[in-house]
Chains A and B, each alone.
Chain A
Amino acid sequence: MIARRDVLRASAALALCGCRQRARPVREDGRLVVTFWYAYGDLVRKVLLELVARYNASQSRILVKAVHQGDYFEALAKLRTALAAGAAPTLSHVVLEVVPYLARAGVLEPLDDYDGAREMPFVPALDQRGSFAGAGREPLVAIPFNRSTPIAFANARVLEEERVEMPRTWEELAEAARRLTRRASNGEVRWGFEVPVSWWYWVAMVGQAGGRLVEPDGSLTLGGDAGVEAIRFWQRLVRQDRVMRQPPGRDYQAWQSSNESFLQGRIAMMWSSTAYVRYLEDNARFPVVAAPLPRHVRASVPTGGTMFVLVRSAPDEEKLAAWDFVRWMCADEQTIAWSTRTGYLPVTRPAVQRLAERGWYARHPNDRVAYDQLSDATPWPWSPDLFRVDRDVVEPRLEDAVLTGRDARALLDEARSEARRPA
């Protein structure tokens, strides 16, 4: 009879020893494994996984394993802790705001000397050099992946019914929102306008109001007066005019909520990302029209989305393999597939040209909006503190400002002094 103790000991040992981190590089079926951590769900994830499968099927040397890690911020958190714990993947993608921080921490692989890196024909506003101001002499560490700008969406049927035109300035927006807001007798509201109260859209408005996050001399001004004006505009729309609803939920839950409400016809106009063009068009029961964001003192939009980054501490073989995959993803065919099936911008100039020649933009005018807006794109400052300022300092205060109506100037002064303090 086997003593219970022996059985227990054996199972404990089994559980414990199944369990050291694997030695790298890993090989499966003779193929080199590249781990790729990604952060999308639903439609975008489907497209990505199909592309990965296509790549894996197209050659037999490399196997890319894509692992879902939640949304951008969850994935980034996992990436950073994994880097610290020696459990990092080969390849991942990160939001632009965190690239300078990761670069300074020395965890990203410099890509200048990789095969073909310098010659890739990226759309100028979308690659590392074009997306950041003051990044001229920084080594190349990030390759554009899914790039976007914020754009305005509207329910074309409602606009037609109410005979309102797509607003082109802030004042026109406030007026249009007022005319489009309808309050039913049972308490239900059709809101004229909605936008997630968050960093990306605030930065857009700061630019439109003529301000800058960081002055050329490097001082952090958070937009100065323009920053205050942007917050006050939102406060006015939500609290005074009551034509805008602040979507509930944190981070991407708010974006989700806006999209859903828009699809259900409960919002007439909203700002969201070009990434949702296909999703919204396919799921709406009314025609969806997209337009550039309105201007104020000038037109300005930030770029968004993420860039591919290779992990420096990964074995060389894995990095070379990951680079092969990244180049493949940036090839015309793939970036066209990616962009046409989602709404993200195609990242290379030849790709844009081919799409135009095929008449894609003629058939899908909404897809063109974000690309045309690139001429008004404002680059991000190459500042290692940018991400911290975004997530820790500004984002929580934006929510606060609109929910409670605190004085915008006091809030930004507070934010500025906090941002200037070392981490």
Chain B
Amino acid sequence: MKERRSATALWLALGGVALAAWVFPYAWMVVTSFKTLPEIMSNPTAPYARRLDLGAYREVFATMPVARYTAVTAAMASAIASAQIALALPAGYALAKLRFAGRRQAFGVVLACLLVPTQATFVPVFLMFAKVRLVNTMTALVLPFAASALGTFLVRQALLAVPDEIIEAARMDGASEWTIVYRIVAPMLRPTLVSLFLVSFVFHYSDYFWPLVMTTDDSVRTLPLGVALLREQGTGVRWNIVMAGNVVLSAPVLALFAVVQRHLLRAVGR
């Protein structure tokens, strides 16, 4: 009995430590964002802001068109996620359900692309877009990701488990292939598709690398790039402003995550 109680206490304590290690930095980020610069310079380790000063946030919104960057980023991320689902469905369906010459090779192409990261393709892709004058456009940000090898693969795997009878029945009812793919199969794969959408959206929303490479000014600049630029040059970094930018960047993603985490982590929670 005693053993179990002390064990429980130990686990709780360790849990507390882990919680602190992962929550403290965020808390510190938020606290810093409410301080003023003189406060930070005179007493950097003060655990509370003297008062909830919104100056840093005002400065962020003044130096950076937050709304525009956010809109661009959200539009880009949703365009990518939507396109990925729109394309992965028919492609996965064809690979899983239809028999045709060249199917193995087509699947091979998809698998091969799983091995190629954007970090290896960015130089040639940049050169290709430069040649057709599409650098610094939404096209350069969205088009390379419109097809998802991973998404296609996952849809195929999921469809392999779906019995053919359902589709054959739909065919006998006179449904066209497009109807089958988008109106019959898609709803069956809802969990997979929703996860795909969410993961893709969050990943591309937070992406720093690809927009950094593909944009040259702020016409289609994304929010992560804008926040990274808050680190000023030469006159001393104003950390309260950088942290305020951080909060603006992370809050939507964390909020989204809080809402869906129950759904995502349900599989691994108790």
Contact = CB atoms under 8 A, between A and B. Distances in A.
B136 A260 contact: no
A39 B234 CA distance: 11
A89 B217 contact: yes
A43 interface: yes
Given A8-B82, A15-B75, A41-B232, A256 B237 contact: yes
Contacts of B182: 3-5
Contacts of A81: 126, 130, 135, 216
Nearest to A259: B236
A256 B237 CA distance: 7
B138 to A, nearest CB: 4
The contact size tier of chain B is: 35 or more
A9 B233 contact: no
A82 B216 contact: yes
A86 B131 CA distance: 8
Given A11-B79, A82-B217, A252 B143 contact: no
29 contacts: A3-B182, A4-B182, A5-B86, A9-B86, A11-B79, A11-B82, A12-B79, A15-B79, A16-B138, A19-B134, A20-B139, A21-B133, A35-B217, A39-B233, A41-B231, A41-B234, A42-B235, A42-B238, A44-B234, A81-B216, A84-B130, A85-B216, A87-B216, A256-B234, A259-B234, A260-B236, A275-B234, A279-B235, A283-B236
Interface in B92-146: 126, 129-130, 133-140, 142-143, 146
A43 B231 CA distance: 13
Contacts of B134: 19-21
B183 interface: yes
Interface stretch (A64-72, A359-367, A396-404): A64-72
Nearest to A262: B236
Contacts of A37: 217
A356 to B, nearest CB: 27
A8 B126 CA distance: 26
Contacts of B178: 5
Contacts of A256: 232-237
A81 B133 CA distance: 12
Nearest to B131: A85
A18 B41 CA distance: 45
B229 interface: yes
A252 B231 CA distance: 11
B83 interface: yes
B227 interface: no
A82 B140 CA distance: 14
Nearest to B130: A85
A85 B133 contact: yes
A78 interface: yes
Nearest to A8: B86
A70 B229 contact: yes
Interface in A236-271: 252, 255-256, 259-260, 263-264
A276 interface: yes
Contacts of A44: 234-235
Given A3-B183, A68-B218, A68-B229, A276 B133 contact: no
Contacts of B142: 12, 15-16, 19
A220 to B, nearest CB: 29
Interface string A96-120: 0000000000000000000000000
A252 B216 contact: no
Interface residues of A, number: 49
Where chain A touches its partner, the secondary structure class is: helix
Nearest to B142: A15
Contacts of B36: none
Nearest to B146: A12
A11 B233 CA distance: 39
B76 interface: yes
A40 interface: yes
B234 A12 contact: no
Contacts of B126: 81, 85
A283 to B, nearest CB: 8
A8 B83 contact: yes
A256 B234 CA distance: 4
Contacts of B129: 85
B85 interface: yes
B186 interface: yes
Interface in A258-301: 259-260, 263-264, 275-276, 279, 283
A11 B77 CA distance: 11
Q: Considering the complex of A and B, which 6 residue pairs feature the smallest CB-CB distances, nearest first? A: A41-B232, A15-B79, A19-B138, A85-B130, A85-B135, A82-B216
Interface core residue of B126, B146, B232, B238 (most chain A CB under 10 Å): B232
B79, B85, B182, B238 — which one has the most chain A CB atoms within 10 A of its CB?
A: B79
